[in-house]
Amino acid sequence: MKLLIENQLVTLAELRSVWQGPVQIGLGKQARRRVAESNELITEIVRSGREIYGVNTGFGKLANVRIASDELAHLQENLVRSHSAGVGEPLDDAIVRLIMVMKVVALAEGFSGVRLELIGALCALINRGVYPIIPSKGSVGASGDLAPLAHMAGVLIGVGEARVDDKVVPASTALEAAGLKPLKLAPKEGLALINGTQASTALALGAVFRTENTMAAALVAGAMSVDAMKGSDTPFDRRIQSVRGHGGQIAVATVLRELIRGSEIRASHMACDHVQDPYSLRCQPQVVGACLDVLRHTCAVLETEANAVTDNPLVYADSGTVLSGGNFHAEPVAFAADHLALAIAELGAMAERRLALLIDPEMSGLPAVLVEDSGLKSGFMILQVTAAALASENKSLAHPASVDSLPTSLNQEDHVSMSTFAARRLHEMLDNVANIVAIELLAATQGIEFHRPQRSSPPLEGAVKAIRDVSPRYTEDRSLAADVGRVVELIERGVFCEHAASVLPAQSS
């Protein structure tokens, strides 16, 4: 994908493309003009000797320390080196690529005072596929994502490591691969690079895109479970949704109707005397619809943040002023991530409950544990235990991170957002839910096949085929661990998204 940063906002669909693969990025004429004018003001301020935080002063509680003019470059380099203090497993390249692109977007707004040369170097890294090694832990989400962004910035000055062509190499080698030499940072550039919410926002965006894939699979799995258990599609009737009015509920019910439409299994019991299904079948529009509304809200917050200027201080070239504020505080991202955590947990909780129904002959009308000769064979019994364990884990992981705060930086930064953890933990939750939904897909496929020669709907038979392409029918007890893993791969690749793409924010934007 080619991305020209000019005046327009970067969209969710473009950010999803950045997450999915390599990108070529550059600045348009107006963006270059804004950046140059902002940098000219910083140069003039330095020349005049006017005191500006982070330009010719120390940082945080040390802001009252004036820095000599001949030490200003050293000040910025020291900042990057000292703040490269992250720990933990490195972030994956997709998240790092999002971080870098959003940092370019923020700097190109022209409120950061950096040189075009700096942004050009960052673009060169992105365009060559050079991704700094950024540890995943060590940020509290205020004053921005300091440690993660310092590890990104370090590569520009020849410090740290980066991944190039799937190999981890020293920063100096990575710069050579991009046709660059180590930068000597100018006043404010180190601060502009490490101040910002881009790491938290990238982690949250990556979780949004994965949630879309998982939600689509959960909708397919839910429809398959309804058909496998000869449930009713009446609860998905448009009229029921319209009198309540929630957009997510209406959209989910529409998807479920389309998924089940044309099923021979459904047609076979239209005249039965069954009255109502359990909630995990019947209330999918209400529950998954609420999850979709949360996802849409989260997307709106993160799209705004992805286009935001979140460093400090901010440089206003038109008025010649520099203002210190707190745009680096990532509370909006933390709240959005915490809200999304609830939706992710509920997707898994509903899928686990449907799975429990599928293996219970009293509830499903299917053979116990979805296998002939149950008793001799244990079938899907322990897969439901696995799903229950994962759903329970997510209850703990869904606890809000944003309600916690520990003062940092000599009590100058006395309230922080914990946005980075709030966003990062979403990926562990999504790992759990992807596995739960994969298990339901396997179980529902097994259930549908017990109704042969009757067929399900064309979309659901397509899903059955996709499952059977990676997992043969279960007739004798065997380990299904590898089968679950292969279905998870289908979910993560977005194989089931075609049925719900029109309602997913980052795919329909």
Catalytic residue selected from 53, 279, 316, 474? 53
Residue 169's region, left for phi above 0, alpha for psi from -120 to 50, else beta, is beta
Question: 374 pairs with which residues across the strands?
Answer: 377
- Number of CB atoms found within 10 A of residue 239's CB: 6
Task: Report residue 431 as tokens.
Answer: 């790992």
DSSP strands (E only) in 320-391: 321-323
Q: What share of the chain is helix, strand, coil (3-state, %, to 5)?
A: 60, 5, 35
458 cis-preceded (ω within 30 degrees of 0): no
Cα dihedral: 201, 204, 205, 211 (round 10): -170
Cβ 69 vs Cβ 47: under 8 Å:
no
Whether 279 sits among the annotated catalytic residues: the reply is no
Of residues 300, 349, 312, the one with CA closest to residue 194:
312
Strand partners, 137: 87
Q: At which residue do the structure tokens 């957009």 appear?
A: 247
3-state SS of 391-421 is HHHHHHHCCCCCCCCCCECCCCECCCCCHHH
Question: Which residue's structure tokens are 């999304």?
Answer: 340
Query: What letter would DSSP give residue 314?
Result: E
245: tokens are 């009015």
Token pair, residue 61, equals 């509680």
Question: Would you give the end-to-end CA distance of the chain in angstroms?
Answer: 16
Return the closest-CA partner of residue 439 out of 400, 491, 475: 491
Burial class (CB in 10 A: 0-12, 13-18, 19+), 34: buried
**Token pair 């906002």 in the structure block, residue:** 9
- Is 179 buried (19+), middle (13-18) or exposed (0-12) by CB count in 10 A? exposed
Active site residues: 53
